[in-house]
Structure 1
Amino acid sequence: MEKSKKKLGLVPKLIIAIIIGILLGLYSPTFVISILITASDLFKQFLMFIIPLMVVAFVTMGIADLSQGAGKLLAFTAAISYTSTLIAGSASYFVASSFFPTFVNEEVVSKVAAASDRAIEGYFNLAITPLLETTAAVVLAFVLGVSISTMRGKEIGDTLYNVFKELSEIITKVLNRVIIPLLPMYICGTFAKMTYQGTTFAIMSVLWKVFLVVIILHLLYLVIAFTFAGTVTKRNPITMMKNQIPGYLTAIGTQSSAATIPVNIKCAESNGISEEIRNFVVPLCANIHMAGSMITITCCVTATLLIYGMPHGFLTLFPFICVLGVALVASPGAPGGSIFTATPFFPVVGIPAVGDIASLLQAMYIAQDSFGTACNVSGDNAISALVESYYRKYIKKEK
């Protein structure tokens, strides 16, 4: 029997790509870096073309599926999931904006600002015009998603729904077969360029501290979420968190909310959640509750804005958090799916959707993606306890 070969995960590939990029930036001739930047620029153009299609496909399907279900129960679950995501993002901003300036000092900002003095570009660039602007893609996705969800099975059939379902599957395949495999090359080119310009080590001195703060925020969020859910539903929060450990560890290993659903349902069962509620809430929240991802993205964006000396006030970040809370609905289950869904909305805070800053943000997020996913799915079971309490008090009595 042939032994199955273990595939190298995305995070190790990114780490290797970053190391290679730094070494190339330090020691390789300029023409090698220019070749790598050329390849990165071509990938960047393709990514710019795919992003609006990704928004239309995923957000349309997310909203279309979200509005199908059990009426009041669905509305309550969606409302509490969005509120949780919004609070998580807002709280993480206040923590980040308070702590990050202590290690994003003037020296780091000045080194990044001086990078323009040693500019280097690729040999050529091929412009690929997107079919839609990002804003138009978002508006179209919302119009289509809401229309399909309210009209399907009543005024129209399933044809349009199936078209967008198949489109989302095509985009997911493009993400898994093209974007994700080529991402290490893209990141390698970014770090080679940053190293050549002299900014890499200043930025890296910040990243590990950001990573540490994000993990602590994830854990604090879960303690607060389970404490609140346990208090409301008269369950022991410590027991609930203990029962959630298998789901948390599974999510770290799979980096996918969808892949963790079977284990997470078992965790909900251990917490005494009824079968009808856990089978409804856990799969739904795997697609609509993204508190962990929101914490990670908000911290990474805040750190990036500080590093590049850009405006980073709460009024700058809050609209981004609000929009992202909806846009992350049904973000693809592939590693890094949430950050690619978030990428079109970077301009809301003044960051271009493509370019060196965007690729740095993507690398920062993906390095922490497994912990964000683990926070997402663990928070789902805190929500399932609240939903069951609501169901027993207000809905079951009506039947």
Structure 2
Amino acid sequence: MKNGFFSSLPFRLLLGLLIGIGLGLVLEGSDQTLVGGAVLNIVVTAKYILSQFIGFCVPLIIIGFIAPSITRLGQNASRMLKVALVIAYVSSIGAALFATAAGYTILPHLNINPNVDGLKNVPDVVFALSIPPIMSVMSALFFSVMVGLAAAWNNSKNVTAILEEFQKIVLSIVTHFVIPVLPLLIGCTFCTLSYEGTITRQLPIFLIIIVIVMAGHYIWLTLLYSIAGAYSGKNPMAILKNYGPAYVTAVGTMSSAATLSVALKCAEKSVPPLRKDMVHFGIPLFANIHLCGSVLTETFFVMAVSRMLYGVYPEPGQMVLFCLLLGVFAIGAPGVPGGTVMASLGLITGVLGFDENGTALMLTIFALQDSFGTACNVTGDGALSLILTGYAEKHSINEQETEAAAKINAEI
């Protein structure tokens, strides 16, 4: 257990953060020396090159995650699957819009001051290695959607197989290249922010924001279960009371996929009011496409980081577009630690215009509370399964039909 934690991505990101802050504080007092200046130049240059590499990988990640997901869902479309996709998407964008409204309401009352006096200037990059991406973020998104839908409509088995292989390749790139360099990028970024004096003076605000986001998770879960109970006509507490083990497991694993077996057992204890066929169909599916807690977290964080680093909040139009697209990215994101923010890096840079500082800051604070966002995702799946149960009963869908859909879901 200890070895697992110390080898996990959140621990490595946290370690990179701490080392970066410590090195930045040391360099702040020794930057006038030959050694101090040389180290600072290396850090700034390394941060630039690493951010260029991450930017190059973003379109590949978008295509690799989104297009195969669309082809899989399109080929196996059924009535209940379509309903599940709609309510998962609505829940995700609802959580994002809720976080946006909360951000515009709460964040102005926090002492987030980007214009901190006495900040130092970071030196220019010594060696600028430009690695332009193969296409823009929005081009990658539209390419993924159009190719995925067209392949599904035409039942293009060869293209679908190619996209599946490409997804495996992209996952290997993320696993073997992107994730290992993330702690280095985080460390370099926080080193420069610490050297400037920005991050050390804003640390208390980070802690407050994390607490606010966790409160948002519980509010959204309350809303989801209330809606599910009202729609189905059943008591949602009969489900929610059984989800304690799944919530705790999700906090520990930080992965919806890794928590699936426990979540299934918790949901099966809720039969009734849940229908058993809806449990076997909905819980595995929602573990991969319903990421309301992660979406809520990311949306609130991008607003806080934008104010903290750039002095302004994103425009409402930008945030609405970000929320709508983030719901799509959440459906295509892998149910692994940090999957949501990794899949949506393109939105953060393309729609909101974050630079490497903002991206690194987002990755770090998201990873620090990702476990609670995952727990919200997993617990919310029970509410959506209750909505599926209500829908099946209201439309007289018998269990044989949904059991067939469960077999379809096993293929997804």
**Cα displacement (A) at 1:314:** 2.8
Q: Which moved more, 1:26-35 or 1:78-87?
A: 26-35
1:242 equivalent in structure 2:
241
Is residue 380 of structure 1 aligned with residue 381 of structure 2?
yes
Separation in 2, partners of 1:6, 1:315: 42
1:100 equivalent in structure 2:
107
Does the 8 Å CA contact 2:306/2:314 hold for their aligned counterparts? yes
Separation in 1, partners of 2:79, 2:99: 30
Does the 8 Å CA contact 1:67/1:149 hold for their aligned counterparts? yes
Question: In the alignment, which of 107, 123, 129 is matched to residue 126 of structure 1?
Answer: 129
2:32 equivalent in structure 1:
none
- Secondary structure at the residue paired with 1:130? coil
Is residue 142 of structure 1 aligned with residue 141 of structure 2?
no
Separation in 2, partners of 1:101, 1:151: 50
**Cα displacement (A) at 1:233:** 2.5
Separation in 1, partners of 2:342, 2:4: 26
1:251 equivalent in structure 2:
250
Separation in 2, partners of 1:332, 1:87: 20
Does the 8 Å CA contact 1:319/1:348 hold for their aligned counterparts? no
- Equivalent AA in structure 2 for residue 339 of structure 1: V
Q: Deviations over 1:231-268 (max 9, x none)?
A: 33333333322211111111111111122222212222
- Equivalent AA in structure 2 for residue 287 of structure 1: N
Does the 8 Å CA contact 1:172/1:332 hold for their aligned counterparts? no
Q: Unaligned 5+ residue runs, structure 1?
A: none
Residues 1-399 of structure 1 correspond to what in structure 2 (within 5 A)? 5-6=3-4, 8=6, 9-28=8-27, 29-69=36-76, 71-105=78-112, 108-111=113-116, 115=119, 118-152=121-155, 156=156, 158-272=157-271, 273-307=274-308, 308-347=310-349, 349-352=351-354, 354-396=355-397
- Secondary structure at the residue paired with 2:337? coil
Q: Deviations over 1:24-47 (max 9, x none)?
A: 111132322222232222221211
- Secondary structure at the residue paired with 1:329? helix
Separation in 1, partners of 2:237, 2:393: 23
Does the 8 Å CA contact 2:19/2:187 hold for their aligned counterparts? yes
- Equivalent AA in structure 2 for residue 163 of structure 1: I
Q: Identical aligned pairs, as a percentage? A: 29
**Cα displacement (A) at 1:7:** 5.1
CA, structure 1 residues 364+165, in 2 after alignment: closer, same or farther (shift >3 Å)?
Answer: same
CA, structure 1 residues 340+390, in 2 after alignment: closer, same or farther (shift >3 Å)?
Answer: same
CA, structure 1 residues 312+7, in 2 after alignment: closer, same or farther (shift >3 Å)?
Answer: closer
**Cα displacement (A) at 1:209:** 0.9
**Cα displacement (A) at 1:120:** 2.1
Separation in 1, partners of 2:10, 2:184: 13
CA, structure 1 residues 169+397, in 2 after alignment: closer, same or farther (shift >3 Å)?
Answer: closer
Separation in 2, partners of 1:311, 1:44: 23
Q: Deviations over 1:139-164 (max 9, x none)?
A: 11001111122222xxx3x2211111
CA, structure 1 residues 367+174, in 2 after alignment: closer, same or farther (shift >3 Å)?
Answer: same
Separation in 1, partners of 2:172, 2:335: 11
- Equivalent AA in structure 2 for residue 97 of structure 1: Y
TM superposition score normalised by structure 2:
0.88
Q: Which moved more, 1:303-312 or 1:204-213?
A: 303-312
- Secondary structure at the residue paired with 1:53? helix
TM superposition score normalised by structure 1:
0.91
- Equivalent AA in structure 2 for residue 140 of structure 1: F
Does the 8 Å CA contact 2:255/2:337 hold for their aligned counterparts? yes
- Equivalent AA in structure 1 for residue 53 of structure 2: F
Q: Deviations over 1:65-87 (max 9, x none)?
A: 22233522111111111111121
Separation in 1, partners of 2:245, 2:83: 27
Separation in 2, partners of 1:334, 1:189: 25
Q: How large is the RMSD of aligned CA atoms in angstroms?
A: 2.2
- Secondary structure at the residue paired with 1:111? coil
Separation in 1, partners of 2:96, 2:382: 19
Q: Which moved more, 1:228-237 or 1:185-194?
A: 228-237
- Equivalent AA in structure 2 for residue 118 of structure 1: N
**Cα displacement (A) at 1:21:** 0.9
Q: Deviations over 1:5-62 (max 9, x none)?
A: 5451222222222121111111132322222232222221211111101111110011
